Amino acid sequence: MRKVKNLIVGCGLSGIVLAERLASQRGEEVLIIDRRNHIGGNIYDYKDKATGITVHQYGPHAFHTNNKKVWDYLNQFTRFYPMNLKVSAYIDGQTVPVPFNFNSIEKLFPHFIAEKLEKKLVERFGYDVKVPILTLKKENDEDLKFLADFVYRNVFEGYTIKQWNLEPDNIDAEVMARVPVFIGRDDRYFQDKYQGIPWNGYTAMVKKMLSNNLIKVELETDFKDIKNEIEAERIFYSGAIDEFFEYSEGTLPYRSLRFDILIKNVEKEQPTTTINYPNNYDWTRVCEHKHFLNEKSQQTVLSYEYPEAFVEGKNERYYPINNSETQQLYNQYLNKAKELKNVYFIGRLGDYKYYNMDQTIARALELFEGVK
């Protein structure tokens, strides 16, 4: 029987932060395993040999946060290239900024309509604020209802159905609130104080985080294959919580993604990093990777993103499908988890929550501080 102090299952952001803290702050040995053949989980990136462009293998990951503690923590391991993500949506044959804002309104509507809508939005909600589309849909004013219905139909509805394979009304409100209407002219996708991309990429950053001699990483290693051969004082599990318990209470649903990564012989294809396609084509968005670090090349790398159902053994879990029914099922697993000693569940899959990167890091730091 192999004995270890700390076993971390999953070499994504949650596991990496915990491994780094346990090793650097407590001087404890850590074994971190992952079933994939690389570190970093979904933030893994690589340098494309043909173009020299840094490619985010699992879709665009632009770091953003208002949490100074998280920002200061990451800056121990990387400098950040100051990049503010900009996203467009393909609507009526044009690309317009999203979140939908005054620039979007003026691009799609005649001047007299745009002016009236903007005036009413400011009077009702103020300026430089975000309003969830579901809130806007509840307004009684006919003009604001017209705008809400237009944005809902052209920006949210089609994209949501493709992404989740569910009608928007069946999606958790917290998820819908992630793509609001922005009352103002700020074209940035996020307005957080701290934004950027690790200067040499995410993989270089996490390599540095794992560089402590007390941390051992074993890839292409599945927890279920070794769990009876290893004895750990603590287990930090960032895999799916229902899989850990062998689906004893039922299966938690997830959405997955498929990426088609292409090289094109043009210097630049898109005006923004990402273009969303709510109502056209089968993909939801196209990412042009050279925008992240403003890399120069005569060619460009694009990734087309196709949502699909999660099928175990075929693809990866990406997004928990949160609603009252799935939350009830998760709570059953959470009660089982509370009965275990020195086993901690972390990350999107362990907590069954739709975390951003900064939330993932904050959660891991908080857990580290609370573990005796």
Specify the pLDDT at position 350: 97
- Mean pLDDT split into 10-residue runs, the chain, 372 residues: 95 98 98 98 97 97 98 98 97 94 97 97 95 87 93 90 81 64 95 97 98 98 93 97 97 97 97 96 97 97 97 93 92 97 96 96 97 82
Specify the pLDDT at position 176: 59
List, as one string, the DSSP characters of 35-96.
SSSSSSGGG-EEE-TTT--EEETTS---EEES-HHHHHHHTTT--EE----BEEEEETTEEE
The region that residue 154 occupies, defined by phi over 0 for left and psi between -120 and 50 for alpha, beta otherwise, is alpha
Specify the pLDDT at position 171: 66
Using CA of residue 170, residue 257, residue 266, residue 293, what is the dihedral sign?
positive
Do β-strands 54-56 and 45-47 pair in parallel, antiparallel, or remain unpaired?
antiparallel
CATH architecture for the domain at 2-39+210-253+321-370: 3-Layer(aba) Sandwich (3.40)
Q: Which two tokens stand for residue 114?
A: 């745009």
Q: Give the count of beta carbons closer than 10 Å to the beta carbon of residue 36.
A: 16
Specify the DSSP element, H or E, that contains 233: strand 230-237
Q: Give the count of beta carbons closer than 10 Å to the beta carbon of residue 302.
A: 19
The domain locations on the chain are 2-39+210-253+321-370, 46-86+189-199+254-318, 99-187
Question: Cβ distance 218 to 36 under 8 Å?
Answer: no
How far is 319 from 333, CA to CA, in rounded Å? Answer: 18
Specify the pLDDT at position 92: 92
